Structure 1
Amino acid sequence: MTSIKDVAAEAGVSVATVSRVLNEHPSVSEDARTRVLAAVASLGYRPNAVARSLRTDQTHTLGLVISDVLNPYFTELARSVEEEARALGYSVIIGNADERPELQDHHVRTLLDRRIDGLLVSPTDGGSPLMLDAARAGTPMVFVDRWIPGVDVPVVRSDGRGAIRDLVAHLHRLGHRRLAIITGPAATTTGQERVEAFREALEECGLDLPDEYIGQGDFQADSGRRATERFLDLAEPPQVVFATDNLMALGALDAVRARGLRVPDDIALAAFDDIRWFVHTDPPITAIAQPTGELGRAAVRALVDRIEGRAPRSVTLPARLVVRRSCGENPATNENPATNENPATNENPATNRSQT
């Protein structure tokens, strides 16, 4: 593969001169520019996106690559990112990875080619060579919601372990003993963390998690539907299905209704990633809510700090349990009013003050 050094040798100039020509820097003589461009054409050289991102001039543009634009959680996250970036004088270009690593890398490469000042990414997996190279090259970058372990990049995320523990304890108090989970992709940090937290919370309540009560999902509705259909076909179906993502929860709800069953009379349902729609389902769905707006704003502030030469820091915010009626709760005797949000807004005033 042709490198920038090959271009420099062919043109008889330094690597720095090639870099300046490719970045359209004005301080290059016309003769050197002509020779470099001729060498690029002759050798068929394609500039490296990561290398081109290392520059001193700014475009006041940020890149955001989200995992799934159809997921209401990421839609709200993108909205808060755009609002905070605009307040700080930056524009945002958004790429939708659709939970596909190859599409994620396509967007990352394109954004770096477009000379963005920094990059916000919610990784679809933990092994993207392009993002690893970008991080090692010093590209201003922040991981939001998900992260790649071992990569030295600030992470802005929520911690759902406490909320999952609260959920399992809540279900246990309601008398549920057979709890199943629909997990996210094992390659994602959130997929791993949520199933581990669920298993630990069950153990604290003296409950097991049999293999047949684990459904592998992919954060898409169809996987939630398929996993729930398999649960319902068991000789002893679970009493509760906990979907670790809102779209999988909606898929699970579809599967239950397709069998002519009712939530929570025949099977209970709970979800991670609360969304505004959950308050309008019948029954309203008990869910774990993340401080989505604050996560987006904190991620932008961390990235701008990195771009503008300040030391960014990772941020972890707590998720919280929102009790509704999909697990057999009695609304007349709400056991924990502190966990209930205003049903008209589905927001937590303490963590989402500026959302509308």
Structure 2
Amino acid sequence: MAGIKDVAAAAGLSVATVSRALNNHPSVSPEARARVLAAVEALGYRPNAVARSLRTDQTRTIGLVISDVLNPYFTELARSVEDEARTRGYSVIIGNANERPDLQDHHVRTLLERRIDGLLVSPADGRSPLMLDTAGGGTPMVFVDRWIPGVDVPVVRADGRDAVRDLVAHLHGLGHRRLAIIAGPAATTTGQERVDAFREALHAYGLPLPDEYIGQGDFQADSGRRATERFLDLPRPPEAVFAADNLMALGALDAIRARGLRVPDDIGLAAFDDIPWFVHTDPPITAIAQPTAELARAAVRALVDLIEGRPPQSVTLPATLVVRRSCGEPPAPAPTTSQRRSNL
């Protein structure tokens, strides 16, 4: 199936110019528009998508398909996307994939039928033919948080590798040597990236990551509970567990408490994706925080640039380690008398 790059090559124009022509942007000359339409007809480039793109009106609506609305990280992301879109004159329709590729595709298909101007997606699975077709079919689209390798659309995400290395250094400094991970789905880029970063960080300290210390999760709480139960049944359980997202960390915490064990006295626990609840658990959970609001704003900016015919930018922001007390960290020192007086 022909894609927008094929149309651009046949017309002798840039992809950006083709996109503007298909969206009836006034900056495109009549001659360039005619070349684009001739290439579209010759290549048979998605007639239904072209018909939508050639409309003169816009809905001023963008679609957002997130992986799990119950995950506080994605809840905050969705809220921040709505806030940024509103400031730019766009409304947002949200679809919750619930970590299921079939629901992801259902929402993408429905949003395209509703004539949205563009699409933000955090892919639940990178192997969906519909996602690949949509990415190459002319619909303005941006990947946020997760992405599909090899697909040529802008990506806005956080890079957690440095933060994972910081976490492993922190755990090593606390004396932990048997470290386990509850991984996310290997079909997602974030699931694979976090395992790879953890393994590389352990290797730098000469520490192994045996198969029995890798629990396969799905970014939901039940999988974190099951993986932790398996860890606790080992002859030599890990000294600390790193859950690759916040819901799996909460599942791990449930499993530890169900055994009558305590964090961090009996086992340490850390998480990727900090959430407001973590400061209220006992003990507060050490976590890697992503700049969620900044990611949402950057994703909306990139998508609006695409919709309005400007060159978009991919953005990568750093994640950071937030140290609390769930891995055996010493308690913060009590304030001195002079400090207490200065706060009065």
- TM-score, length basis structure 1: 0.79
User: 2:271, 2:208 → 1: CA distance?
Assistant: 19
Q: CA deviation at 1:52?
A: 5.3
- Paired residue for 1:249? 249
User: 2:270, 2:135 → 1: CA distance?
Assistant: 37
Q: CA deviation at 1:332?
A: 2.8
1:117 aligned to 2:122? no
User: 1:58, 1:166 → 2: CA distance?
Assistant: 46
- Paired residue for 1:309? 309
- Paired residue for 2:337? none
Give the 4+ runs in structure 1 shifted more than 2 A.
Answer: 47-57, 331-334
Q: Secondary structure at the match of 1:215?
A: strand
Q: CA deviation at 1:135?
A: 1.4
Structure-2 change in CA distance of 1:287 and 1:206 (3 Å): same
Letter in 2 for 1:155: V
Q: CA deviation at 1:132?
A: 1.0
User: 1:333, 1:111 → 2: CA distance?
Assistant: 53
Unaligned runs of 5+ in 2: 1-45, 335-344
Native 8 Å contact 1:50 1:133 kept in 2: no
User: 1:271, 1:49 → 2: CA distance?
Assistant: 44
Native 8 Å contact 1:53 1:116 kept in 2: no
User: 2:304, 2:226 → 1: CA distance?
Assistant: 42
- Paired residue for 2:182? 182
- Paired residue for 1:341? none
Equivalenced residues, count: 288
Q: CA deviation at 1:274?
A: 0.2
Identity among equivalent positions (%) equals 83
1:200-251 CA deviation, whole Å, 9 max, x = no partner?
0001111110110000000000000000000000000000000000000000
- Paired residue for 2:32? none
Q: CA deviation at 1:137?
A: 1.2
Structure-2 change in CA distance of 1:267 and 1:119 (3 Å): same
1:11-36 CA deviation, whole Å, 9 max, x = no partner?
xxxxxxxxxxxxxxxxxxxxxxxxxx
User: 2:221, 2:208 → 1: CA distance?
Assistant: 26
Q: Secondary structure at the match of 2:169?
A: helix
Unaligned runs of 5+ in 1: 1-46, 335-356
User: 1:69, 1:53 → 2: CA distance?
Assistant: 29
1:80-134 CA deviation, whole Å, 9 max, x = no partner?
0000000000000000000000000000000000000000000001111111111
1:55-86 CA deviation, whole Å, 9 max, x = no partner?
34311000000000000000000000000000
Q: Secondary structure at the match of 2:332?
A: helix
Q: Secondary structure at the match of 1:147?
A: coil
- Paired residue for 1:167? 167
- Paired residue for 1:54? 53
User: 2:212, 2:237 → 1: CA distance?
Assistant: 9
- Paired residue for 1:271? 271
1:99 aligned to 2:85? no
- TM-score, length basis structure 2: 0.82
Native 8 Å contact 1:63 1:119 kept in 2: yes
1:249-307 CA deviation, whole Å, 9 max, x = no partner?
00000000000000000000000000000000000000000000000010000000000
1:296 aligned to 2:290? no
